A and B are shown apart, each in its own frame.
Chain A
Amino acid sequence: MERNVALIALFAALIAALGLVPKLTLAFGVPITAQSLGVMLCGTVLGAKRGGLAVLLFVGLVALGLPLLAGGRGGLGVFASPTAGFVIGFPIAAFVTGWIVEQWRSVSIGLAAGFASIIGGIAVLYVFGVFGLMVTLNKTAMEAAILVIAFVPGDVIKAVLAGIITAALARARPASVLSRA
Protein backbone atom coordinates (compact mmCIF):
# COMPACT_ATOMS: atom_id res chain seq x y z
CA MET A 1 0.00 0.00 0.00
CA GLU A 2 2.71 2.50 1.01
CA ARG A 3 4.77 1.50 -2.01
CA ASN A 4 1.81 1.91 -4.37
CA VAL A 5 0.97 5.37 -2.99
CA ALA A 6 4.62 6.45 -3.13
CA LEU A 7 5.14 5.26 -6.72
CA ILE A 8 1.83 6.78 -7.87
CA ALA A 9 2.64 10.12 -6.22
CA LEU A 10 6.25 10.24 -7.42
CA PHE A 11 5.25 9.48 -11.01
CA ALA A 12 2.58 12.19 -10.82
CA ALA A 13 5.35 14.51 -9.61
CA LEU A 14 7.58 13.26 -12.45
CA ILE A 15 4.98 14.32 -15.05
CA ALA A 16 4.84 17.75 -13.42
CA ALA A 17 8.64 17.99 -13.24
CA LEU A 18 8.94 17.01 -16.93
CA GLY A 19 6.76 20.05 -17.67
CA LEU A 20 9.14 22.27 -15.70
CA VAL A 21 12.47 21.28 -17.27
CA PRO A 22 13.26 23.23 -20.45
CA LYS A 23 12.23 21.60 -23.71
CA LEU A 24 14.34 18.62 -24.74
CA THR A 25 15.93 18.42 -28.15
CA LEU A 26 15.82 15.43 -30.46
CA ALA A 27 18.82 14.32 -32.51
CA PHE A 28 17.78 16.42 -35.51
CA GLY A 29 17.12 19.56 -33.48
CA VAL A 30 13.35 19.36 -32.94
CA PRO A 31 12.33 20.52 -29.46
CA ILE A 32 9.71 18.42 -27.64
CA THR A 33 7.78 18.95 -24.41
CA ALA A 34 8.29 15.88 -22.31
CA GLN A 35 5.02 16.01 -20.38
CA SER A 36 3.01 13.67 -22.61
CA LEU A 37 6.04 11.35 -22.61
CA GLY A 38 5.59 11.27 -18.82
CA VAL A 39 1.96 10.19 -19.25
CA MET A 40 3.04 7.31 -21.51
CA LEU A 41 5.77 6.28 -19.03
CA CYS A 42 3.26 6.13 -16.16
CA GLY A 43 1.38 3.45 -18.06
CA THR A 44 4.39 1.54 -19.41
CA VAL A 45 6.23 1.49 -16.07
CA LEU A 46 3.48 1.33 -13.44
CA GLY A 47 0.91 -0.68 -15.40
CA ALA A 48 -2.77 0.02 -16.04
CA LYS A 49 -4.19 0.62 -12.57
CA ARG A 50 -1.29 2.39 -10.86
CA GLY A 51 -0.28 4.28 -14.00
CA GLY A 52 -3.85 5.48 -14.55
CA LEU A 53 -4.10 6.55 -10.91
CA ALA A 54 -0.78 8.42 -11.08
CA VAL A 55 -1.99 10.45 -14.07
CA LEU A 56 -5.42 10.91 -12.46
CA LEU A 57 -3.68 12.34 -9.38
CA PHE A 58 -1.71 14.70 -11.63
CA VAL A 59 -4.83 15.84 -13.51
CA GLY A 60 -6.74 16.16 -10.21
CA LEU A 61 -4.09 18.49 -8.81
CA VAL A 62 -4.24 20.58 -11.98
CA ALA A 63 -8.01 20.87 -11.40
CA LEU A 64 -7.48 21.85 -7.76
CA GLY A 65 -5.45 24.82 -8.98
CA LEU A 66 -1.78 23.85 -9.13
CA PRO A 67 0.10 25.16 -12.21
CA LEU A 68 1.55 21.77 -13.16
CA LEU A 69 0.91 21.67 -16.92
CA ALA A 70 3.77 22.67 -19.23
CA GLY A 71 4.07 26.45 -19.34
CA GLY A 72 2.72 26.79 -15.80
CA ARG A 73 -0.91 26.31 -16.79
CA GLY A 74 -3.45 24.86 -14.39
CA GLY A 75 -6.73 25.46 -12.60
CA LEU A 76 -10.28 24.80 -13.64
CA GLY A 77 -9.92 26.94 -16.77
CA VAL A 78 -7.90 24.10 -18.35
CA PHE A 79 -11.04 21.95 -18.28
CA ALA A 80 -13.11 24.54 -20.12
CA SER A 81 -10.48 25.35 -22.75
CA PRO A 82 -10.32 23.74 -26.22
CA THR A 83 -7.53 21.37 -25.13
CA ALA A 84 -9.61 20.02 -22.20
CA GLY A 85 -10.20 16.69 -23.97
CA PHE A 86 -6.49 15.91 -23.98
CA VAL A 87 -6.10 16.59 -20.24
CA ILE A 88 -9.24 14.59 -19.38
CA GLY A 89 -8.02 11.78 -21.65
CA PHE A 90 -4.56 11.59 -20.03
CA PRO A 91 -5.51 9.09 -17.25
CA ILE A 92 -7.39 6.82 -19.65
CA ALA A 93 -4.48 6.99 -22.10
CA ALA A 94 -2.09 5.87 -19.35
CA PHE A 95 -4.49 3.12 -18.29
CA VAL A 96 -4.82 1.68 -21.80
CA THR A 97 -1.06 1.97 -22.37
CA GLY A 98 -0.38 0.08 -19.14
CA TRP A 99 -3.03 -2.52 -19.88
CA ILE A 100 -1.47 -3.39 -23.26
CA VAL A 101 2.03 -3.72 -21.72
CA GLU A 102 0.61 -5.99 -19.00
CA GLN A 103 -1.22 -8.23 -21.46
CA TRP A 104 1.30 -8.46 -24.30
CA ARG A 105 4.03 -10.46 -22.61
CA SER A 106 5.27 -12.47 -25.59
CA VAL A 107 7.46 -9.61 -26.88
CA SER A 108 10.24 -7.58 -25.21
CA ILE A 109 9.09 -4.85 -22.82
CA GLY A 110 10.55 -2.09 -24.99
CA LEU A 111 8.58 -3.16 -28.07
CA ALA A 112 5.38 -3.68 -26.05
CA ALA A 113 5.81 -0.28 -24.36
CA GLY A 114 6.39 1.53 -27.65
CA PHE A 115 3.40 -0.09 -29.33
CA ALA A 116 1.20 0.42 -26.25
CA SER A 117 2.16 4.12 -26.17
CA ILE A 118 1.05 4.51 -29.81
CA ILE A 119 -2.35 2.92 -29.06
CA GLY A 120 -2.91 4.39 -25.59
CA GLY A 121 -0.90 7.59 -25.66
CA ILE A 122 -1.86 8.62 -29.19
CA ALA A 123 -4.95 6.82 -30.56
CA VAL A 124 -6.97 6.81 -27.33
CA LEU A 125 -5.74 10.24 -26.24
CA TYR A 126 -6.59 11.86 -29.57
CA VAL A 127 -10.14 10.47 -29.47
CA PHE A 128 -10.66 12.43 -26.24
CA GLY A 129 -8.74 15.43 -27.53
CA VAL A 130 -10.71 15.62 -30.77
CA PHE A 131 -13.98 15.23 -28.86
CA GLY A 132 -12.96 18.15 -26.59
CA LEU A 133 -12.28 20.33 -29.64
CA MET A 134 -15.61 19.33 -31.19
CA VAL A 135 -17.53 20.41 -28.08
CA THR A 136 -15.67 23.62 -27.25
CA LEU A 137 -15.17 24.90 -30.78
CA ASN A 138 -18.40 23.53 -32.25
CA LYS A 139 -16.68 21.62 -35.05
CA THR A 140 -17.28 18.26 -36.72
CA ALA A 141 -14.98 15.32 -35.92
CA MET A 142 -13.17 15.72 -39.26
CA GLU A 143 -12.62 19.45 -38.79
CA ALA A 144 -11.35 18.92 -35.25
CA ALA A 145 -9.04 16.12 -36.38
CA ILE A 146 -7.47 18.42 -39.01
CA LEU A 147 -6.55 20.86 -36.21
CA VAL A 148 -4.47 18.27 -34.32
CA ILE A 149 -3.11 16.02 -37.08
CA ALA A 150 0.12 18.06 -37.18
CA PHE A 151 0.98 16.92 -33.64
CA VAL A 152 0.80 13.18 -34.40
CA PRO A 153 4.35 12.72 -35.82
CA GLY A 154 5.89 14.30 -32.70
CA ASP A 155 3.84 12.02 -30.50
CA VAL A 156 4.88 8.94 -32.50
CA ILE A 157 8.51 9.89 -31.77
CA LYS A 158 7.60 10.21 -28.07
CA ALA A 159 5.98 6.76 -28.13
CA VAL A 160 9.18 5.26 -29.57
CA LEU A 161 11.19 7.06 -26.88
CA ALA A 162 8.77 5.75 -24.21
CA GLY A 163 9.58 2.23 -25.44
CA ILE A 164 13.35 2.82 -25.33
CA ILE A 165 13.20 4.46 -21.89
CA THR A 166 10.93 1.75 -20.44
CA ALA A 167 13.33 -0.96 -21.67
CA ALA A 168 16.23 0.91 -20.01
CA LEU A 169 14.26 1.27 -16.75
CA ALA A 170 13.42 -2.45 -16.82
CA ARG A 171 17.18 -3.11 -16.87
CA ALA A 172 18.07 -0.47 -14.26
CA ARG A 173 15.22 -1.08 -11.77
CA PRO A 174 13.53 -4.37 -12.74
CA ALA A 175 11.67 -4.71 -9.43
CA SER A 176 10.04 -1.29 -9.83
CA VAL A 177 8.72 -1.77 -13.38
CA LEU A 178 5.37 -3.00 -12.13
CA SER A 179 3.74 -3.43 -15.55
CA ARG A 180 5.80 -6.62 -15.96
CA ALA A 181 6.33 -7.52 -12.29
Chain B
Amino acid sequence: MISLTSPVETRAHRWPAGAKLAALCAATMLLFASNDLRFHFAAFACCLLLYALPGRLFFRTGLRRLAVLWPFFVLILVWHVATGDVQAGVVITLRMVTAVGLANLVTMTTRLSDMIGVVRWLTAPLRRIGINTQGIELGIALVVRFTPVLAQKGQLLAMAWRARALKRVGWQIVTPFATLAIDDAERVAEALRARGGL
Protein backbone atom coordinates (compact mmCIF):
# COMPACT_ATOMS: atom_id res chain seq x y z
CA MET B 1 0.00 0.00 0.00
CA ILE B 2 1.16 3.50 -0.80
CA SER B 3 2.07 5.46 2.30
CA LEU B 4 2.62 9.19 2.69
CA THR B 5 6.27 8.79 3.75
CA SER B 6 8.54 10.78 1.45
CA PRO B 7 10.58 8.74 -1.04
CA VAL B 8 13.39 11.29 -0.59
CA GLU B 9 15.49 10.02 2.31
CA THR B 10 16.15 12.92 4.69
CA ARG B 11 18.20 13.20 7.83
CA ALA B 12 14.95 13.42 9.81
CA HIS B 13 14.03 9.86 8.73
CA ARG B 14 16.63 8.60 11.22
CA TRP B 15 15.45 10.72 14.17
CA PRO B 16 13.36 8.86 16.76
CA ALA B 17 9.64 9.03 15.89
CA GLY B 18 8.64 9.73 19.49
CA ALA B 19 10.87 12.82 19.65
CA LYS B 20 9.45 14.15 16.37
CA LEU B 21 5.90 13.68 17.63
CA ALA B 22 6.69 15.39 20.95
CA ALA B 23 8.30 18.32 19.09
CA LEU B 24 5.25 18.54 16.82
CA CYS B 25 2.94 18.67 19.86
CA ALA B 26 4.99 21.46 21.42
CA ALA B 27 5.18 23.44 18.15
CA THR B 28 1.42 23.13 17.55
CA MET B 29 0.61 24.31 21.07
CA LEU B 30 2.92 27.31 20.58
CA LEU B 31 1.23 28.15 17.27
CA PHE B 32 -2.19 28.14 18.88
CA ALA B 33 -1.02 30.10 21.94
CA SER B 34 0.20 33.09 19.94
CA ASN B 35 -1.77 35.71 18.02
CA ASP B 36 1.27 37.74 17.04
CA LEU B 37 1.55 38.37 13.32
CA ARG B 38 5.37 38.52 13.30
CA PHE B 39 5.64 35.23 15.21
CA HIS B 40 3.39 33.51 12.67
CA PHE B 41 5.31 34.92 9.71
CA ALA B 42 8.56 33.66 11.29
CA ALA B 43 7.06 30.22 12.02
CA PHE B 44 5.73 29.96 8.46
CA ALA B 45 9.14 30.92 7.05
CA CYS B 46 10.85 28.28 9.26
CA CYS B 47 8.34 25.68 8.06
CA LEU B 48 9.03 26.56 4.40
CA LEU B 49 12.77 26.36 5.06
CA LEU B 50 12.37 22.86 6.55
CA TYR B 51 10.53 21.81 3.39
CA ALA B 52 13.21 23.34 1.16
CA LEU B 53 16.24 21.76 2.90
CA PRO B 54 15.85 18.18 1.53
CA GLY B 55 15.71 19.40 -2.08
CA ARG B 56 13.29 20.37 -4.79
CA LEU B 57 11.34 17.08 -5.12
CA PHE B 58 10.60 16.99 -1.38
CA PHE B 59 9.58 20.68 -1.46
CA ARG B 60 7.17 20.18 -4.34
CA THR B 61 5.62 17.00 -2.86
CA GLY B 62 5.12 18.81 0.43
CA LEU B 63 3.49 21.86 -1.14
CA ARG B 64 1.16 19.66 -3.19
CA ARG B 65 -0.08 18.07 0.05
CA LEU B 66 -0.77 21.52 1.51
CA ALA B 67 -2.81 22.48 -1.54
CA VAL B 68 -5.91 20.77 -0.08
CA LEU B 69 -6.17 23.74 2.31
CA TRP B 70 -6.89 26.31 -0.40
CA PRO B 71 -10.70 26.41 0.12
CA PHE B 72 -10.14 27.38 3.76
CA PHE B 73 -7.44 29.82 2.69
CA VAL B 74 -9.89 31.62 0.36
CA LEU B 75 -12.76 31.37 2.85
CA ILE B 76 -10.86 32.94 5.75
CA LEU B 77 -9.32 35.73 3.70
CA VAL B 78 -12.69 36.66 2.11
CA TRP B 79 -14.38 36.49 5.53
CA HIS B 80 -11.82 38.78 7.17
CA VAL B 81 -11.63 41.24 4.28
CA ALA B 82 -15.44 41.48 4.56
CA THR B 83 -15.35 42.02 8.33
CA GLY B 84 -12.43 44.44 8.01
CA ASP B 85 -10.10 42.50 10.33
CA VAL B 86 -7.48 41.48 7.78
CA GLN B 87 -4.65 41.04 10.27
CA ALA B 88 -6.55 38.37 12.25
CA GLY B 89 -7.35 36.62 8.97
CA VAL B 90 -3.67 36.53 8.00
CA VAL B 91 -2.74 35.14 11.44
CA ILE B 92 -5.38 32.39 11.23
CA THR B 93 -4.35 31.41 7.70
CA LEU B 94 -0.65 31.36 8.51
CA ARG B 95 -1.27 29.32 11.64
CA MET B 96 -3.40 26.82 9.75
CA VAL B 97 -0.84 26.35 6.97
CA THR B 98 2.13 26.13 9.38
CA ALA B 99 0.40 23.68 11.75
CA VAL B 100 -0.69 21.37 8.93
CA GLY B 101 2.69 21.81 7.22
CA LEU B 102 4.67 20.76 10.31
CA ALA B 103 2.38 17.79 10.95
CA ASN B 104 2.74 16.65 7.33
CA LEU B 105 6.50 17.03 7.71
CA VAL B 106 6.53 14.48 10.55
CA THR B 107 4.39 12.10 8.48
CA MET B 108 6.67 12.53 5.45
CA THR B 109 9.83 11.74 7.41
CA THR B 110 8.57 8.86 9.58
CA ARG B 111 8.09 5.31 8.30
CA LEU B 112 4.93 3.37 9.16
CA SER B 113 7.02 0.81 11.07
CA ASP B 114 8.49 3.58 13.27
CA MET B 115 4.99 4.95 13.92
CA ILE B 116 3.77 1.47 14.91
CA GLY B 117 6.77 1.35 17.27
CA VAL B 118 5.40 4.47 19.00
CA VAL B 119 1.97 2.80 19.28
CA ARG B 120 3.65 -0.24 20.87
CA TRP B 121 5.42 2.04 23.35
CA LEU B 122 2.20 3.93 24.15
CA THR B 123 0.26 0.70 24.76
CA ALA B 124 2.99 -0.80 27.00
CA PRO B 125 1.18 0.24 30.23
CA LEU B 126 -1.92 -1.65 29.01
CA ARG B 127 0.14 -4.83 28.60
CA ARG B 128 1.59 -4.38 32.06
CA ILE B 129 -1.88 -4.43 33.61
CA GLY B 130 -2.66 -7.59 31.67
CA ILE B 131 -4.58 -6.34 28.61
CA ASN B 132 -3.76 -8.18 25.39
CA THR B 133 -2.70 -5.58 22.81
CA GLN B 134 -1.86 -8.16 20.14
CA GLY B 135 -5.25 -7.44 18.61
CA ILE B 136 -4.22 -3.84 17.85
CA GLU B 137 -1.17 -4.87 15.85
CA LEU B 138 -3.05 -7.66 14.09
CA GLY B 139 -5.86 -5.19 13.33
CA ILE B 140 -3.40 -2.71 11.77
CA ALA B 141 -1.89 -5.47 9.63
CA LEU B 142 -5.34 -6.69 8.53
CA VAL B 143 -6.49 -3.19 7.49
CA VAL B 144 -3.29 -2.60 5.50
CA ARG B 145 -3.74 -6.01 3.83
CA PHE B 146 -7.47 -5.85 3.17
CA THR B 147 -8.02 -2.23 2.10
CA PRO B 148 -6.65 -2.88 -1.42
CA VAL B 149 -8.53 -6.22 -1.55
CA LEU B 150 -11.85 -4.59 -0.66
CA ALA B 151 -11.16 -1.60 -2.91
CA GLN B 152 -10.70 -3.99 -5.81
CA LYS B 153 -13.93 -5.82 -4.97
CA GLY B 154 -15.66 -2.42 -4.89
CA GLN B 155 -14.29 -1.61 -8.35
CA LEU B 156 -15.60 -4.97 -9.63
CA LEU B 157 -19.05 -4.20 -8.20
CA ALA B 158 -18.99 -0.79 -9.89
CA MET B 159 -17.96 -2.41 -13.18
CA ALA B 160 -20.72 -5.01 -12.87
CA TRP B 161 -23.19 -2.15 -12.36
CA ARG B 162 -21.93 -0.28 -15.41
CA ALA B 163 -22.13 -3.39 -17.57
CA ARG B 164 -25.85 -3.71 -16.79
CA ALA B 165 -27.20 -0.22 -16.16
CA LEU B 166 -27.44 3.00 -18.12
CA LYS B 167 -27.29 5.16 -15.01
CA ARG B 168 -24.13 5.96 -13.08
CA VAL B 169 -23.06 3.75 -10.18
CA GLY B 170 -25.52 4.17 -7.32
CA TRP B 171 -25.47 3.73 -3.58
CA GLN B 172 -27.08 0.29 -4.02
CA ILE B 173 -23.64 -1.31 -4.40
CA VAL B 174 -22.83 -0.50 -0.76
CA THR B 175 -25.03 -3.38 0.48
CA PRO B 176 -23.20 -6.14 -1.46
CA PHE B 177 -19.94 -4.33 -0.70
CA ALA B 178 -20.55 -4.52 3.07
CA THR B 179 -21.73 -8.13 2.72
CA LEU B 180 -18.42 -8.99 1.04
CA ALA B 181 -16.53 -7.32 3.93
CA ILE B 182 -18.57 -9.32 6.48
CA ASP B 183 -17.92 -12.60 4.64
CA ASP B 184 -14.20 -11.85 4.40
CA ALA B 185 -14.12 -11.05 8.12
CA GLU B 186 -15.80 -14.34 9.03
CA ARG B 187 -13.33 -16.26 6.84
CA VAL B 188 -10.34 -14.39 8.31
CA ALA B 189 -11.61 -15.15 11.83
CA GLU B 190 -11.89 -18.84 10.96
CA ALA B 191 -8.40 -18.86 9.45
CA LEU B 192 -6.98 -17.15 12.55
CA ARG B 193 -8.64 -19.69 14.85
CA ALA B 194 -7.39 -22.56 12.67
CA ARG B 195 -3.86 -21.24 13.09
CA GLY B 196 -4.01 -21.19 16.87
CA GLY B 197 -5.88 -17.92 17.41
CA LEU B 198 -4.81 -14.89 19.38
Instruction: Tell me the A residues contacting B by CB distance below 8 Å.
Output: 1-14, 16-18, 20-22, 24-27, 29, 32, 34, 37, 41, 45, 57-58, 60-61, 64-68, 71, 73-82, 135-138, 147, 161, 165, 168-169, 172-173, 176
Contact = CB atoms under 8 A, between A and B. Distances in A.
B43 interface: no
Contact of B174 (A37, A60, A67, A137): A37
Contacts of A165: 171, 174-175, 178
Interface of B: 1-5, 24, 28, 32, 65-66, 68-69, 72, 75-76, 88, 92, 95-96, 99-104, 106-108, 110, 112, 115-116, 119, 135-136, 138-140, 142-144, 146-147, 149-151, 153-155, 158, 167-171, 173-175, 177-179, 181-186, 188-189, 192-193, 197-198
Nearest to A75: B107
B92 A80 contact: no
B168 A6 contact: no
A5 B135 contact: yes
User: Chain B interface mostly helix, strand, loop or mixed?
Assistant: helix
B107 A17 contact: no
B103 A71 contact: no
B173 A71 contact: no
Nearest to A3: B189
B157 to A, nearest CB: 8
A6 B188 contact: yes
Contacts of B170: 24-27
Contacts of A82: 69, 72, 96
Nearest to B104: A77
B185 A10 contact: yes
B69 A13 contact: no
29 contacts: A1-B198, A2-B193, A4-B135, A6-B188, A7-B189, A9-B143, A13-B147, A13-B181, A14-B177, A14-B178, A16-B147, A17-B153, A21-B154, A24-B170, A25-B171, A26-B170, A27-B170, A41-B174, A45-B182, A58-B143, A61-B140, A61-B143, A65-B107, A67-B2, A77-B65, A165-B178, A169-B175, A169-B179, A173-B179
A124 B173 CA distance: 27
B174 A57 contact: no
Contacts of B24: 76
